[in-house]
Amino acid sequence: MKKEIREGTVKQTQDQEVCDLCRITYPIYANFPPMPSAQAFNAETGEFFPFDRLRSLSTGYDMAKALGYAWACDCRGRTPVTRRINYNEQFQLLDTHTGKPLASVEYAIERASGDIEHGMTDASGYTHRLSMTSSAEEINIYCNGAKHA
């Protein structure tokens, strides 16, 4: 880590000690030309936002935070960000004998809470995508009366 002075598009800012992640992130995005219709992606939330908003941020850390990877920041004196993991899964049901996808098969997914969701697999044997949860969860999948954990 090193002390660094960065030249922004409007002003000079002096950071305390800057980790490589923040030091590299800032010049990559701050020097892009204006792109009013471009979108940036937050890897943590899965949301898109205007790219020009990212360009307007004054530090590499703020940019990393907007992009969803500030949890990897290692700047001294900064409170570490806890990485929030969201579980959002989809399952493919396969025939146990042939290994082929079970297309258009009705199924039920039982969550640990006891909630049951029903659906039908798509042409490739995939279930619907289960809604996001903040922790891992055990589920049971039933199709044709059989339980699959």
Q: State whether 111 and 142 are in the same domain.
A: yes
* pLDDT tens by residue, 117-128: 889 999 999 898
* pLDDT tens by residue, 62-79: 999 899 888 888 776 666
Q: State whether 92 and 144 are in the same domain.
A: yes
Number of structural domains the chain divides into: 2
Give the length of the chain.
149
Q: State whether 9 and 62 are in the same domain.
A: yes
Share of the chain above pLDDT 70, in %: 74
Q: How far apart are CA 132 and CA 129, in angstroms?
A: 9
| Residue 7 is assigned to a structural domain of this protein | yes
Residue 71 phi, psi dihedral angles, 5° rounding? -60, -20
69 and 61 in contact (C-beta within 8 Å)? no
Q: How far apart are CA 27 and CA 97, in angstroms?
A: 55
Range of the domain at 25: 2-72
Q: At what angle do helices 60-67 and 20-30 cross, to 10 degrees?
A: 80
- Per-residue pLDDT band for 87 (boundaries 50, 70, 90) equals low
Average pLDDT, the chain: 78
- Per-residue pLDDT band for 51 (boundaries 50, 70, 90) equals very high
